[in-house]
Amino acid sequence: MPGQTDLPTPTPNTNLDDQRFWDALAEDRLELPRCNSCETVVWYPRPFCPECASTDVEWFEASGQGTVYSYAVTHKAPGNWGAHAPYVIAYVELAEGPRVMTNIVDVDPAQIEVGMAVRAVFHAGKDGGAVLRFTAA
C-alpha cells in the first residue's frame, strides 16, 4: 500500500523529561505519565501535569488502544515524504484519554473513518529509536 509502513521515521529529539517515553517505544511499548493528584494522563510526556500543575506524576504502560478522532489524507508533500503519498495524518484518542497526532499505517486511506478502532505500532528508525504510529485494531 502506498504511504504505509515505509513512511520516513525521523530521529526524535529527546530530553531527560521524555526519554522514558522514547526508550519504551524502542522496546515496542507505550509508556505515559499519569498525574497522581488529578489522574490526568499527560500528553506530551513531561514531568508535570498540564491540568493541575502537580509534579507528582508516575509512568505506566498504556494499552496502545485508541480511536480515530480526526484525520486527513495527504496526497502531496514536500521532500522525502512526497514519495510516500498518499499517507494519513491523524489525531488518535487513546483509551487512557489523551489525543496524539500520529500516522495511520497499513490501512487503505479510503477505509479510515472517525471512530475507527486502532492500536499502536512502533516503527524503528535507522538509529535504533522508534516512533509511535497506529493501524486498524
Give the model confidence (pLDDT) of 7-55 as tens digits. 877 778 888 999 999 999 999 999 999 999 999 999 999 999 999 999 9
Asked which of 4-18, 47-61, 68-82, 116-130 is least confident by mean pLDDT, the reply is: 4-18
Q: Higher-confidence residue: 34 or 6?
A: 34
Picking from 21, 2, 24, 22, the residue whose alpha carbon sits closest to that of residue 11 is 22
Residue-level pLDDT at 3: 44
DSSP codes, 41-57 = BPSS--SS-TTT----E
Q: How many H helices and E strands in the chain? A: 1, 7
Q: Note the pLDDT tens digit of each residue in 87-106.
A: 999 999 999 999 999 999 99
pLDDT over 90 at 66, yes or no: yes
Instruction: Note the pTM of the prediction, 2 decimals.
Output: 0.90
Residue-level pLDDT at 5: 63
